[in-house]
Structure 1
Amino acid sequence: MAATSLASQTVLRRAVQAFVVPRFISNNNLSHCSTLQSFPLPKLLSSSGLGMCHLAQAVKGEVDVSLKGVGDKSITEAVKQIVEKANRASFRREVIHTDFITPPVLKESMLILAKLVDVKAIAQGGYPQAERHRLSVGHSEVLTDALDIVAAMSITGNFGFQPCSHGDFLGSILGTGIAREKLGDIVVLGEKGAQVLIVPELVDFLTTSLDKVGNVPVSCKKIPLLALEYEPPRTKSFKTVESSLRVDAIASAGFKISRTKLADLISNGDVRVNWTTVTKNNTTVKAGDIISVSSKGRLQIGEINSTRRGKFAIELIRYL
């Protein structure tokens, strides 16, 4: 009986260590391993779970400290969810994939994941210059190679007389009901149409659902990633003079829409600055910022100079 009890405790202890070590301990806190092993087993497995709870809180605190400099709450929350997925995947010895994430979320996530023991992360965007990526996270012994989690599709049609922009393609794809986070980059190819990166499980759906972009009938098909024809994005630069650097003023000039219409877009959550949703019309922008408007596309703020009359001469770079 005693031998059976001892064996059971040994099995339980190993199970607990397997759970805690890869899931919670970071490179900076390896001393927690010896502390954990010195805990009496009944205390560690008590119904209160204090040892486990305190350790989890310590790691949560570390993540919070790492994200202290991130001002946007949506980015912070997205990164926390990715870290939680990585911990869960490591514990279960499995691999979990995220949807497509924006550059700020990718950057902050990779910084934190690099500190976690036994956790590996691989980012894939479909091609080297990709902006949006998916992350594969899991235990380092399981996630050994990059998996096929990004698919490429071509969208072709007679765009010679009716060219469509990045915003046109994006708006039409979203119009089928596909969520934005299921889409990666869209590579616009002028008369040849566009190529889009997407989660593999939606390839068939997009093939049958997307039949028009703007007024142009289109057809879609899956293509190899190596067939992507990436080129530097086509842009158009122009200047505007504004009395302020408010996002509603700049975006209104950049996308050639009224400030009233832009105010409605902001209210609907359709305007983003550096991939972060804008909630106030008077949010200020600066040189280098990227403004995105759903179904309209993107523009980047170039050089800003003050005029003699106290206004701002602003260079705007519109992505076509």
Structure 2
Amino acid sequence: MSMLSRVHSISMAATILMKPNRGLSRVIPHDSFIFLHSPTFRSFSLSSPLSPSEICQTTQATKSEVDVLLKAVSDRNLAEQIKHILDMANRASLRREVLHTDFLTPPVLEEAMAALKKLADVNAIPNGGYPEAERCRLTVGHPDVLRTVPDTVAALSITGNFGYQPPSHGDFLGSVLGTGIAREKLGDIMLQGEKGAQVLIVPELVDYMISSLDKVGKVPVSCTLISLEALEYEPPSTKTLKTVESSLRVDAIASAGFKISRSKFADLISKGDVRINWSTVTKNGATLKTGDMVSVSGCGRLKVCFTQ
């Protein structure tokens, strides 16, 4: 059971999963329930044996079987990505190959794993580089050739003199993308305040990143390869709070939930650090509905649920 599903099963009260010392809170607008959890979503341990839920047994699917599985995916763009993964799984099974996706967003990974679990004869292993990773790569291969967690993720440390104003998640992401690296080649970016950030990336781009990334904003930086064991992250904890808001606008709900002023939250939106269901928010007045996930880079997430 995922962390999110456990939250729903605890009680009808709103629950917060928080990073320690983040000072996050939660807000309920008009009989709504909001669940806040940390910046990471799924947990796939790389240091311990894989559980049955982490290795999914699949089989070669016919075109009609794939079509049936895709009917459960309402979003057309999401369905296209799932179809590509299912086709990759079939190819890997038939050719006895091991194939890897780029980094996937949580919705794509979740839908892909759900579809693959309904098939057989291919192992499917997600890997985000550390437990609780949000963005993960998915490796598929025949069980005869794919038995352990593959080496598909590398970690880099980006350091600089960030003492006066540590860059935001958007600053690091923009600087990395500015080198020409595509977003899907990057995993999670973990902020470390004055120390900089740690970034997950596909191994084949490590040397390019080290030689190409020389600044984040106006601050000169150095980029070094580190082991996955050296990554610094904190598991989420839970807390329950209640409050009332008069608007379902994202800036009203999320600013109250994260204890951020609406003006500062507007700045976060302008920097690209706020997402609804993993899509970047561009307007303060975006309206939330039940089931929406609001993510603020470096702070956490709000899951919105309405009740009668």
- TM-score bracket, normalised by the shorter chain, equals 0.5 to 0.7
User: How much has 1:288 moved relative to structure 2?
Assistant: 6.3
- 1:251 is displaced (CA, Å) by 7.6
Task: Tell me the equivalent position of 2:46.
Answer: none
Paired amino acid for 1:59:
E
Gaps spanning 5+ residues in structure 1: where? 1-20, 25-55, 234-239, 306-320
Structure 1 partner of 2:276: 273
Match of 2:55 in 1: none
Give % identity: 59
Change (3 A) 1:246 1:151: same
| Letter paired with 2:80 | E
Unaligned 5+ residue runs, structure 2? 1-57, 237-242, 256-261
Aligned partners of 1:85 and 1:96 also within 8 Å: yes
CA change 1:76–1:278 in 2 (3 A) is: farther
Greater RCO, 1 or 2 (C-alpha within 8 Å, sep 6+): 2
Cα distance in structure 1, aligned partners of 2:235 and 2:162: 19
Letter in 2 for 1:87: N
**TM-aligned CA distance change 1:100 to 1:303, over 3 Å:** closer
2:139 alignment partner, SS class: strand
RMSD across aligned positions (CA): 3.5
Q: Is the 8 A contact 1:114 1:120 kept in 2?
A: no
Counterpart check, 1:289 vs 2:298 = no
User: 1:134-283 to 2 correspondence within 5 Å?
Assistant: 134-231=137-234, 244-247=247-250, 253=262, 256-257=265-266, 272-276=275-279, 282-283=286-287
Distance, in Å, in 2 between the alignment partners of 1:248 and 1:77 is: 31
Q: Within 5 Å, which residues of 2 pair with 1:59-70?
A: 59-65=65-71, 68=72, 70=73
Aligned residues: 237
TM-score normalised by length of structure 2: 0.65
Partner letter of residue 163 of structure 1? P
Aligned partner of 1:29 in structure 2 is: none
Structure possessing the higher radius of gyration over alpha carbons: 1
Q: Within 5 Å, which residues of 2 pair with 1:34-45? A: none
Question: In structure 1, how many angstroms separate the alpha carbons of the residues matched to 2:161 and 2:280?
Answer: 34
> Match of 2:97, as an amino acid?
E
Cα deviation, residue 225, structure 1:
0.7
In structure 2, what residue type is equivalent to 1:63? L
1:177–1:271 Cα change, 3 Å: farther
Cα distance, 1:228 vs. partner?
A: 0.8
SS at match of 1:98: strand
One of 23, 42, 45 as aligned partner of 2:60: 23
